[in-house]
Structures are given as structure tokens and as C-alpha cells.
Amino acid sequence: QVQLVESGGGLVQAGGSLRLSCAASGRIFDYYTMGWFRRTRGKEREFVGGISWSYGTTSHADSVKGRFTVSRDIAKSTVYLQMNSLKPEDTAVYFCAARPFGPTVATRPGSYDYWGQGTQVTVSS
């Protein structure tokens, strides 16, 4: 079992930046992929970006390309989501997820087995 804990959320002004962290309780296996999702009030979870743990290859949603970057620190068993040029429409609860038996990054929430509790990101106008 994998336990994930997100952190780094908060309130920022439009155009600002935040860096979210997702810390795993244990060592992530090479065949895992890690994903970031977000949920706006009243909507389903939306894919943001993901990364292959072993290869470091990434995938990002069109809505965040050029602004958000997914990365990982193998030694710290941590995945990051660097968010720049934030917009009010980025306001959501952001979740980290893990999927065994990658290496491809899946975009559907149902493809992931483990989830963190989420961290709130609010972008003001």
C-alpha cells in the first residue's frame, strides 16, 4: 500500500506561483506512474499532469501546458507540481495519485489506485 500526502496549497493572486508536493510514505517502485488531478466544486476530477517514476517522462493537460511542470525527486520519494502564471480558473483541490504497472501516464482517475487527501489552491483576481 502507498500513502500519499499533498502539501503546498494556499491563496495566491492571479499571475503568482505555487509549488505543490506529494510525499510518498515509502519507496515508489520503478514501474509506477504518478499523476496530478484537480477538482473544482461541482465537477469531476480533471487530469493536470503526470510522470513516469523510472524514466521521468511527463505529460501535461493542454489547459496547463507552458504554465505547470511535473517533476520528481527519487531520493525523497516526492512528486512536485510547479504552477506558474496562475489563473482564477486554476482554483481547485489538487490531488496526487499513484498507478502501478506503468510506465505510461494515464489521464483517467479510475486508472489510479492510490490517492492523497488533496490540497486547496485558490487564485484570486
Which pLDDT score, from 0 to 100, does residue 71 have?
Answer: 97
Residues 6+ away with beta carbon under 8 Å from 95: 6, 36, 37, 38, 39, 45, 115, 116, 117, 118
Residue type, 14: A
CB 64 within 8 A of CB 48: yes
Residue by residue, pLDDT tens for the chain (125 residues) are: 789 999 999 999 999 999 999 998 866 666 889 999 999 988 999 999 999 988 899 999 999 999 999 999 998 999 999 999 999 999 999 999 999 887 689 999 999 999 999 999 999 99
User: Of 67, 39, 34, which Cα lies nearest the Cα of 50?
Assistant: 34
Res 101: pLDDT: 81
Phi, psi of 23 (to 5 degrees): -100, 130
